[in-house]
Amino acid sequence: MAELVNQRIEATINELEQMRRTELYDDEELREIARKRKEFEYRIQRRLKEKDDYVQYIAYELALLEDITYRRKQIKMHEKLKDIEYAIAKRLNKVFKQFIMRYQDDVEIYFEYIKFCKAVKFDFAAAAIIGQMLQIHGDKPKTWLLASLYETKVKNSIETSRSFLLKGIHRHPESEELYRNLFEVELKLAFSAETDDEKDKCIKRAEVVWRNGVKNIPDLKFLFQICDIALTYDNETVMKSLKEEIWSKRDNKDVWSYIAMKELQGFHWEQIDDTIDTNHLNFSKELNNFVVLYEKALEQFPDEKLCTEYIHKLLGLNDSICTDLQKIAVVKRAWEHGHANGLLTNDMYSFGFTFLRLEDEIKTEEFMQILDTALVKNPKSRVLWEEKLLLSKDNENEMLSILQDADKTLRGEDLIYLWNFMLDNIESNVVFRSCYKKFQACENAIALSLKPKLLQKMYEHNGLKTAREVYENFVRTPPTQKELHKVMINIELAQEKLSLKHARKYYECLVHHHGSDHVDVWLEYISFETNMGNVSAIASIHRRAIAQLKKDIVDDFIKAQAITRLK
């Protein structure tokens, strides 16, 4: 093996010498290149070879070629191309062939080799390897596609490209890519045809291709892709038959979306002329058709996603289609159409309300009417209830009534959110007390979640005495949260004249309800007695904590208290 490696390295001496003479690389760099090549050669000659050995060797030589090209540009020197770059390319070609021979089952290696051949203009080698690739990997549609693309883009042989695609489709009649490419090849041939007869033959073949494709690939997206290709060549015969085919499938909502977008792009569908009426619209012809087609589609397919798609596409209109004022008008029309037909999602309602506020032309009564209509169809929409509360912010009794109505349909997190919104926005003590009475009838999950905030708000609105009463009421109806007790403790500690009796009572409630699972509640109690209460009570609290805490967290308590003492 060593002898073979040395022979291969000796074969590279001339190119290294030329690199030195042309001053592309200095002696140290050349020694490093020789060392790396020797290392790679040993790796690909050893008995137990790995794919990565070839990959790294090829990657190194390709990077070297790029670096040589870059250095040549820097010093503006173009001598000895054959002795350097061509010599490297020839050796790389041999390495690639060895690589392919050893790993014939890996189709990606063929792809990389063909890419290499294209880059260094080894067309003779590429042609040979394409034939070998198709023999071994003809069961893969992408190999036929690659062969076709190589013939088209590198060798400029459309006929040979077409032949590869036909053979590929024969083996893979379900391949979208092969049909699309063959269809485009036929249109190219028709475009470049020198006689009308030749052009007609190509057009007929193109018709056969897309019809066979549609027969074997029923996905509408494929038909749309075929149509997009045809539009770029603007052949009247092909477009007429494709438009008829697409229009015949209008029982699918995607057809309406597709045709609407094409109208917007300036490609008119004659079939819609007898179906839609755009006389009542004052936009451009393209936008009129787009709007009416989507509205017609939403009549046949009342679908929220379709309505959202419609509005989003209108929002994306560019200045060449309509002015900003026209865009506002048409978006508003689409939103109102969706609202009137119950097709708006929560996100679209949020967008619409923001939109209406920015426009600042709608009266409160109209806005409320929109919300009420929407809530009949979407009674579980938190967004709608929130907007209704926001609209009634100046009338707190009305807000409470709205919350009561929402309570009949909303559950869980949505209802908790509305309660929090309500508590953050009411100011009247009377309304707050009514709100508190309503809260007492809430389900447990909501009650538990809102207790801390409600206690804080009761204190802010009605004072300490009321807060103490509410706290006592909450404690009598467990479960309670740690946060509830801490809110009450903070209220007491914030008083100008601290009541140790009350504060200690709340700490006792805290450790009673949460002292078995939480170390921090005991530490806070001890801290309170240390700083504000009775220091002699600390030992008793310490003993109670060790007795009450779960065994697996007692050590955590002892360590935490020891650290506190050290501080």
Q: What confidence tens digit (pLDDT) does each residue in 324-377 have?
A: 888 888 998 999 899 888 898 888 888 888 877 776 667 778 788 888 888 888
What's the CA gap between 290 and 269, in Å, rounded?
11
| pLDDT exceeds 90 at position 11 | no
Residues of the chain with pLDDT > 90, as a percent, come to 31
| pLDDT exceeds 70 at position 439 | yes
What pLDDT score was predicted for residue 443? 63
What pLDDT score was predicted for residue 442? 67
Q: Given CA atoms 438, 442, 446, 451 in this order, what sign does their dihedral have?
A: positive
pTM summary value: 0.69
Burial 304-331 (b: 16+ CB within 10 A, else e): bebbbbbbebbeebeeebbeeeebeebb
For residue 475, give the nearest of 465, 462, 488 by alpha carbon: 488
In single-letter form, the type of residue at position 264 comes to: L
Tokens of 422: 């309500």
Q: How confident is the model at residue 441 (pLDDT cuts 50, 70, 90)?
A: low
What confidence tens digit (pLDDT) does each residue in 124-141 have?
888 888 888 999 899 999
390, with CB counted inside 10 A (0-12, 13-18, 19+), is: middle
Mean pLDDT of the residues in the chain = 87
What confidence tens digit (pLDDT) does each residue in 397-435 have?
888 888 888 888 877 788 888 888 878 877 777 777 777
For residue 55, give the nearest of 8, 117, 102, 2 by alpha carbon: 102
Across the range 447-469, mean pLDDT stands at: 86
Burial 440-463 (b: 16+ CB within 10 A, else e): eebeeebbbbbbbbbbbbbbebbe
271, with CB counted inside 10 A (0-12, 13-18, 19+), is: middle
What's the CA gap between 313 and 400, in Å, rounded?
39
What's the CA gap between 339 and 335, in Å, rounded?
6
For residue 33, give the nearest of 73, 74, 1, 65 by alpha carbon: 65
Instruction: Report how far apart, in Å, the C-alpha atoms of 214 and of each of 254, 257, 267, 487 are.
Output: 16, 19, 22, 69
Q: How confident is the model at residue 252 (pLDDT cuts 50, 70, 90)?
A: very high
| pLDDT exceeds 90 at position 388 | no
